[in-house]
């Protein structure tokens, strides 16, 4: 090989080695990037007249595996759903508490019942009357707090949907820009590996919000839909639409049901004017489930319990006539338990009658003699108190409450509702643990197939460095030889 040939060969090698170094650096930098697949650079030897004359870099290719990526995305979407459900329900049940917690609904009702039992032995005892009234107020406040927590969680879910919709739209726009750039690169004969990797990363991001299906097109492009067929991208972005609601009353839903006291007003997620169709995967679906189904179901149970409590003391109080308030009220008013429209939101408005509350001008003695008693009796009687205790313990004192037996005492109904709600949270916590592991396993499987092995990249970098050193030595030697030849010619 001539000196000139050696120089050209070494210079071409240095050029390719620079590209390889950049590629290895990019691989290592994205080793932990979800959706990133290892990239490699193809090399072609240059041969002239049977003699090697260097090397030239070809296309950068990606090891992307669409099938393995789809499995990982599905697992990620499922895990995002369970994580969202688990987080919200855990936040609620931490306020609900266990039956043994003094602040729980069960404990508050039990304490109040015990107060009444003690008061029945000394019905004219002012201290015992005050204790019973105070604990009745605590019981009502517990209903209020639980309903308030549900409302807060529903509002947070609604805001999370809005954030998720904004994130999806932003990701879809980035995907469209990336696809346009990929098409231009392909048309110019340039590598599309970086664009394929960027596409996979964007699809991975989408899958945490929505369950997606990805179909390849004949031009190397893609169509993205939800798993139930709503088109999100087909060369054009189909943006999601959603209007958040700042304050969500306990009786608000997407569609009004005035017969049952439900008002409408909550927004749906739509695409091209139609409600989005998707399975129970991704954080958006989970937040809609929480806002529209799971948490309203909890609220309905609490509302019915609150309604039963109000109705029980209206019925058991001999001084209360039709249309009058008992010990507990619906925001200061009497309750018609036969009117379904009056039940919605009761847990948020239940309160103790002002007639027994000294801070509102009432008198605690009325808890012993009847809330509507006009004057305080001079004779001690426990008849009204005994009636209250019997009503609380009677199976006929409570009507059916969402999924519970129709013939059950109020205390049993409270225990069952609390147990059901705690169980729902526990179920989602356990399911989330399983789904998170499945997502990790799927991501590991994808990474094993297409991901970056940093050790391998470091070994390749070492080879590149050694080759660079060898090429540099060839150039240095060729340069010395040329200098020597020049000296000979100059001396001649």
Q: pLDDT, tens digit, for every residue of 251-278?
A: 999 999 888 888 999 999 999 999 999 9
**Cβ(161)–Cβ(287) below 8 Å:** yes
Asked whether residue 405 falls in the same domain as residue 459, the answer is no
373 lies in some domain: yes
Question: Is residue 137 pLDDT above 70, yes or no?
Answer: yes
Contacts (Cβ under 8 Å, ≥6 apart) of 262:
251, 252, 253, 256, 344
443 lies in some domain: no
Residue ending a domain, among 395, 416, 438, is 438
Mean pLDDT of the chain: 86
**Mean of the pLDDT values across residues 96-112?**
94
**Mean of the pLDDT values across residues 17-40?**
69
Question: Is residue 169 pLDDT above 90, yes or no?
Answer: yes
Asked whether residue 91 falls in the same domain as residue 207, the answer is yes
Q: Can you give the pLDDT at residue 259? A: 86
Q: Can you give the pLDDT at residue 261? A: 85
Asked whether residue 306 falls in the same domain as residue 384, the answer is yes
d(CA 323, CA 439): 58
Residue 401 binned pLDDT confidence (cut-offs 50, 70, 90): low
444 lies in some domain: no
445 lies in some domain: no
Q: Can you give the pLDDT at residue 60? A: 56
102 lies in some domain: yes
The partner residues of 329 in beta bridges, in order of sequence, read 351
Q: Can you give the pLDDT at residue 206? A: 96
Asked whether residue 84 falls in the same domain as residue 27, the answer is no
- Please work out, in degrees rounded to the nearest 5, the angle formed at the alpha carbon of residue 187 by the alpha carbons of 183 and 190: 90
Q: Can you give the pLDDT at residue 25? A: 75
Residue 20 binned pLDDT confidence (cut-offs 50, 70, 90): low
Asked whether residue 154 falls in the same domain as residue 257, the answer is yes
164 lies in some domain: yes
Question: Is residue 82 pLDDT above 70, yes or no?
Answer: yes
Q: Can you give the pLDDT at residue 68? A: 83
pLDDT tens for residues 462-490? 766 666 666 666 666 766 666 666 676 66
Question: Is residue 70 pLDDT above 60, yes or no?
Answer: yes
d(CA 278, CA 294): 17
pLDDT tens for residues 275-291? 999 999 999 999 999 99
Asked whether residue 372 falls in the same domain as residue 465, the answer is no
446 lies in some domain: no
pLDDT tens for residues 175-223? 999 999 999 998 888 888 889 889 999 999 999 999 999 998 888 899 9
- CA–CA distance from 37 to each of 90, 213, 446, 448 (Å)? 36, 19, 9, 10
The partner residues of 222 in beta bridges, in order of sequence, read 216
**Mean of the pLDDT values across residues 56-67?**
61
Asked whether residue 176 falls in the same domain as residue 95, the answer is yes
Residue ending a domain, among 416, 438, 460, is 438
Rounded to two decimals, the pTM is: 0.83
User: Strand, helix or coil at 47?
Assistant: strand
Asked whether residue 388 falls in the same domain as residue 480, the answer is no
**Mean of the pLDDT values across residues 116-130?**
96
**Mean of the pLDDT values across residues 281-308?**
96
Asked whether residue 339 falls in the same domain as residue 473, the answer is no
**Mean of the pLDDT values across residues 20-39?**
71
Query: How far is residue 73 CA from its own chain's centroid?
Result: 16
Task: Classify the C-alpha dihedral 449-451-456-462 as positive or negative.
Answer: positive
Asked whether residue 387 falls in the same domain as residue 472, the answer is no
Question: Among 34-38, 111-115, 311-315, where is mean pLDDT lowest?
Answer: 34-38
Percent of the chain exceeding pLDDT 90 equals 63
Range of the domain at 43: 3-63+451-491
| Backbone φ, ψ for residue 275 (5° rounding) | -55, 135
* Most confidently predicted of 25-34, 153-162, 379-388: 153-162
Asked whether residue 56 falls in the same domain as residue 93, the answer is no
Residue 48 binned pLDDT confidence (cut-offs 50, 70, 90): low
Q: Can you give the pLDDT at residue 186? A: 87
Residue 330 binned pLDDT confidence (cut-offs 50, 70, 90): very high
Asked whether residue 89 falls in the same domain as residue 236, the answer is yes
Residue 443 binned pLDDT confidence (cut-offs 50, 70, 90): confident
**Cβ(1)–Cβ(51) below 8 Å:** yes
How many domains in the chain? 2
Provide the edge-to-edge strand list for the sheet that holds 231-233. 212-216, 222-226, 231-233
**Cβ(250)–Cβ(148) below 8 Å:** no
Q: Can you give the pLDDT at residue 400? A: 53
**Mean of the pLDDT values across residues 375-382?**
87
């Amino acid at each position: 090989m001539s000196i000139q040939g050696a120089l050209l060969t070494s210079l071409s090698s240095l050029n390719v080695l620079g590209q390889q170094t950049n590629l290895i650096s990019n691989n290592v930098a994205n080793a932990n990037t979800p959706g990133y697949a290892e990239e490699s650079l193809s090399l072609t030897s240059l041969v002239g007249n049977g003699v090697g004359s260097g090397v030239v870099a070809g296309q950068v290719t990606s090891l992307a595996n669409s099938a393995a990526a789809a499995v990982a995305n599905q697992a990620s979407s499922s895990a995002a759903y369970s994580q969202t459900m688990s987080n919200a329900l855990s936040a609620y049940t931490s306020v609900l508490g266990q039956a043994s917690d003094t602040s729980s609904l069960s404990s508050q009702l039990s304490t109040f019942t015990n107060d009444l039992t003690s008061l029945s032995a000394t019905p004219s005892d002012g201290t015992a009357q005050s204790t019973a009234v105070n604990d009745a107020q605590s019981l009502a406040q517990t209903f209020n707090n639980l309903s308030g927590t549900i409302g807060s969680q529903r509002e947070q879910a609604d805001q999370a949907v809005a954030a998720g919709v904004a994130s999806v739209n932003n990701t879809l726009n980035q995907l469209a820009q990336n696809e346009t750039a990929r098409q231009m690169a392909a048309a110019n004969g340039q590598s599309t590996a970086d664009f394929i990797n960027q596409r996979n990363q964007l699809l991975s991001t989408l899958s945490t919000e929505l369950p997606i299906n990805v179909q390849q097109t004949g031009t190397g492009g893609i169509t993205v839909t939800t798993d139930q067929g709503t088109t999100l991208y087909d060369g054009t972005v189909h943006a999601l639409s959603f209007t958040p609601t700042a304050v969500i009353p306990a009786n608000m839903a997407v569609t009004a049901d005035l017969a049952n006291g439900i008002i409408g007003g909550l927004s749906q997620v739509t695409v091209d004017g139609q409600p989005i169709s998707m399975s129970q995967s991704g954080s958006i679906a989970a937040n809609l489930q929480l806002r529209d189904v799971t948490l309203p179901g909890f609220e309905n149970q609490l509302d019915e319990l609150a309604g039963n409590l109000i109705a029980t003391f209206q019925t058991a109080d001999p001084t209360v006539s039709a249309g009058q308030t008992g010990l507990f009220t619906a925001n200061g008013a009497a309750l018609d338990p036969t009117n379904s429209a009056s039940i919605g939101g009761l847990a948020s408005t239940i309160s103790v009658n002002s007639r027994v509350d000294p801070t509102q001008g009432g008198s605690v003695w009325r808890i012993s003699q009847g809330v509507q008693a006009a004057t305080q009796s001079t004779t001690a009687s426990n008849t009204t108190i005994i009636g209250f205790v019997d009503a609380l313990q009677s199976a006929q004192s409570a009507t059916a409450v969402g999924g519970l037996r129709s013939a059950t005492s109020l205390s049993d109904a409270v225990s069952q509702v609390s147990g059901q709600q705690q169980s729902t949270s526990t179920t989602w916590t356990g399911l989330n643990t399983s789904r998170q592991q499945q997502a990790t396993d799927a991501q590991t499987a994808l990474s094993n197939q297409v991901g970056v092995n940093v050790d391998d990249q470091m070994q390749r970098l070492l080879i590149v460095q050694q080759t660079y050193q060898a090429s540099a030595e060839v150039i240095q030697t060729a340069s010395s030889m040329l200098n020597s030849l020049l000296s000979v010619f100059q001396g001649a």
